[in-house]
Structure 1
C-alpha cells in the first residue's frame, strides 16, 4: 500500500530536504507541497492525502491552526516536523502519530512512515467481523520470544511495583496513578501515557517504562503499544489473523502479528 503524502513547511530548503528523504522510502508518494498553513488547508481538502508532514511554526497560520481548520472527516494522519521539542505535549494532544525534530533523520522518518502505514491499514480493516471475548488474565510486556526463566522468577507474587509514576512537563511534575493508565504508545523518543482521558508525554524509552509497570497488569501488544489488561473488554478477530482490542473507554488498539501469539494464548484459556 502506497502512502499519499503532503509536505507543509514555509522553508523551501526544509521542504526539499524532506522530499529527498521521502523519495528514498518505498511505498511513499509525495502528492504535493504547501508553503504555508492556508495552502495546506486547501490542498488537504483537494488532494485528500493519507499523511501530512506538518511544520508547526509558520507565519499566519501555524500547524495547530491548520488542524483546527480541518473537518474531522477530512483529517489525515499528522506527523509534525519542527526544530523545537517544547510542542510535543500539544502535538500528541491533537493525536499526531509522530513528532520529528529537524533536521529529520532518515531512521526516524522511516519509523514515522511505518507508523502511518500501520495506522492506515488498521483503519481500513475496521469493517471486519466483530468477535467480543473477555481477556482478563495476567500478561507480560515483553515479546513471547524474550521471556526467560529469569523473567518468570522476577514476576513472582510479592513483587512490589510503584503505585504512581512521575511525568515531567517543563518545570511541572505530575504524579499519575499506575492503575489509571489505560494504554501507552511510543512515538519516537517519546511515550504517550493515556490515563483517565488525558495524554501525558514522557521522554523515556519503551524498555525503561516497561520496567516501572507490573507485567501481571500491562500487556505489550505491539512494538510500540502497552495496554492495561484490567481495562480490556473485548477483542476483534481480523481476517488476516490479527486482532484489535477494545478497552472500557471505547479505545481500540491493534495487536501486531509479532504479538498475536500472546492474545491467542489468552483466548485459549477462556
Structure 2
C-alpha cells in the first residue's frame, strides 16, 4: 500500500514517516510541505492512502481534497491540532482523524484499520463504478445521465431525475428516491461536480437537493431556512448557501 504524507511542518512529517517505516505493508511515496504540492503529487503519484494536515499555510486540507482528480480516490487520514467540523470530515470520506499530538498506539490503530479494510477489492469496485460513470456520461455536456450504484452482484443505473436528494453518511453518499435509499461510496464534492447544475443544488456541505423535488421552504425565526422535500424530509440550508439557493429557485 502506497502512502503520501502531507504537512507543512517538517517535524510533523518526519514523525509520521518514522512511524510508517515500522509498517512493512506501507510504502512511503513521498512527502509534501504545501497544499499546492500535495495536489500535484496526489494526481501524479496516485497514492492509495494520504496522511493530510488540515491546517497548512497555503490552503487547508479540505481544499486539497476538493481539487484532486485521481480515480479511485485515496483513503484519507486527517491530521489536525484542533477538532474540525465533523460534517466536513464525513463529507470528504475521511477514514480517521488524528488529533496532534497523537500517541503511537492511536496512530497504529488507524494504520491497522486501513490495512484490514481489504483495499484491493474496494479499489476494484471503485474502478468499475468510475468506468461506468464515464460510459454513461453525455460527452457533449459532461453531465451524467445515469448514476451506477452497486447493489450486491448487480449495478443499478439510476436516473438523476428520480433522485429527491443526496446526503453524506460517513464514507458514503445516501441517495434518496421516492421508493428507495441507495448507498454510493463517493463524496458529495465529487457528485456535485458531475450532476446537472440546472437540476441539483448543494444547500449544505452534507446535502444536495433536486430542485424539482423541493416542495416548500420552512423559515425559522433566526432567518434560516429548511428545504422540505417531496417525501416530507426537512434539509437545512447553510447560511452561505441561502442566498444562491433562493436565487436558484427564482425567489
- Give the TM-score of the pair, scaled to structure 2: 0.50
Distance in 2 separating the partners of 1:102 and 1:78:
16
Decide which of 44, 54, 58 is 2:56's aligned counterpart. Answer: 58
Query: Are residue 250 (structure 1) and residue 248 (structure 2) matched?
Result: no
With over 3 angstroms needed to count, the CA separation of the structure-2 counterparts of 1:41 and 1:101, relative to structure 1, is same
**Residue of structure 1 in register with 2:221 after alignment:** none
Q: Secondary structure at the match of 2:23?
A: coil
**Residue of structure 1 in register with 2:174 after alignment:** none
Structure 1 residue 112, shift from structure 2 partner: 2.1
Query: Are residue 22 (structure 1) and residue 25 (structure 2) matched?
Result: no
Aligned length: 148
With over 3 angstroms needed to count, the CA separation of the structure-2 counterparts of 1:60 and 1:125, relative to structure 1, is closer
**Residue of structure 1 in register with 2:69 after alignment:** 71
Structure 1 residue 47, shift from structure 2 partner: 1.1
Match runs of 1:102-113 below 5 Å: 102-113=100-111
Structure 1 residue 199, shift from structure 2 partner: 4.4
Distance in 2 separating the partners of 1:46 and 1:86:
28
Match runs of 1:223-238 below 5 Å: none
Distance in 1 separating the partners of 2:106 and 2:86:
15
Contact between 1:45 and 1:74, CA under 8 Å: does it hold in 2?
A: no
Contact between 1:18 and 1:104, CA under 8 Å: does it hold in 2?
A: no
Decide which of 53, 78, 81 is 1:80's aligned counterpart. Answer: 78
Structure 2's unaligned 5+ residue stretches are 129-151, 155-164, 171-179, 186-251
Q: Secondary structure at the match of 2:94?
A: coil
Contact between 2:43 and 2:70, CA under 8 Å: does it hold in 1?
A: no
Distance in 1 separating the partners of 2:168 and 2:68:
22
Higher RCO, 1 vs 2 (CA within 8 Å, ≥6 residues apart): 1
Q: Secondary structure at the match of 2:66?
A: helix
Contact between 1:81 and 1:100, CA under 8 Å: does it hold in 2?
A: yes
Match runs of 1:207-222 below 5 Å: none
Match runs of 1:50-199 below 5 Å: 50-71=48-69, 73=71, 75-117=73-115, 118=117, 120-126=119-125, 131=153, 197-199=166-168
Structure 1 residue 17, shift from structure 2 partner: 0.8
Calculate the aligned-residue CA RMSD, in Å.
Answer: 3.5
Structure 1 residue 119, shift from structure 2 partner: 5.3
Q: Secondary structure at the match of 2:87?
A: helix
Moved beyond 6 Å, runs of 4+ = none
